[in-house]
Amino acid sequence: MTSPTPTPAAPPTPTDPIPSLIPPAATTTTSTTPTPAPAPNNAPATSGGGLTGAVLSAAVVAAIVSGSITTALARRATRLEERARVRTTLAEAYQAYADYKEFPYAIRRRRHDQDGKERIRLSEEVRRVQSRLSYYQAWTRAEDPTTGDAYNDLVGQLRRVTGASMRAAWLEPALDNDAGMNIGPDRVDLSELRTAEETFLKAAENHVKALTTPWWRRSPKPATAGPQE
């Protein structure tokens, strides 16, 4: 038995589509991709920025140092002015004390031919000096308690010792000769005032020094005892 012979395929007709040799274009799919945020710049500053910062820092430090020096100099100048003022006033206070000490001599040397006028003149001089003493007593006490106590003690002894000598001088006759102008310690003795003088001068010296001494170098003053009950 003979097998059937296969029928060959018919050739393609012109109407059949010819397969394209060009591959089809790929289909483009559009998708939205989020844009990544820029990464923070942690890199160190450039050399130019570092130089500018260093210059600004140096300028700030220089300004602070200059201001501190200026302030310190101004404070020192103020202390020096204050010291000069206090020193002058303390010298005037001592001058008033010294003027009062001269009255026992002035009274004994008064003119004998103008008794009435001499009494008025010397009385007015005593009054003016007494007023100055009272003023400086109050001033020294307000300025510094230690100096004020020393000056008030000095004035108290001055009025006691010198006042007694002044009363004795008024009892003596007025001078009518040159020899009587020589007045020795046997007639006027004020040596009892020396201790009080030294105490006041030392207190005044310490107070003037303290005015220009920085506060951290000042020694604390002893506490003043309160009034006894």
Q: What is the mean pLDDT of each run of 10 residues along the chain (229 residues)?
A: 52 50 49 54 54 69 69 60 87 97 95 90 96 97 95 97 95 86 89 96 93 62 46
Beta bridge partners of 111: 175
Long-range contacts of the stretch 206-212 (C-beta < 8 A, 24+): 206/146, 207/86, 207/90, 207/143, 207/144, 207/146, 207/147, 208/83, 208/86, 208/87, 208/90, 211/79, 211/82, 211/83, 211/86, 212/76, 212/79, 212/80, 212/83
Beta bridge partners of 175: 111
- The position carrying tokens 């018919």 is 10
Prediction pTM value: 0.62
pLDDT given at position 225? 46
Domain extents in the chain:
69-214
Q: Phi/psi class of residue 179: alpha, beta or left (left: φ > 0; alpha: ψ in -120 to 50)?
A: alpha
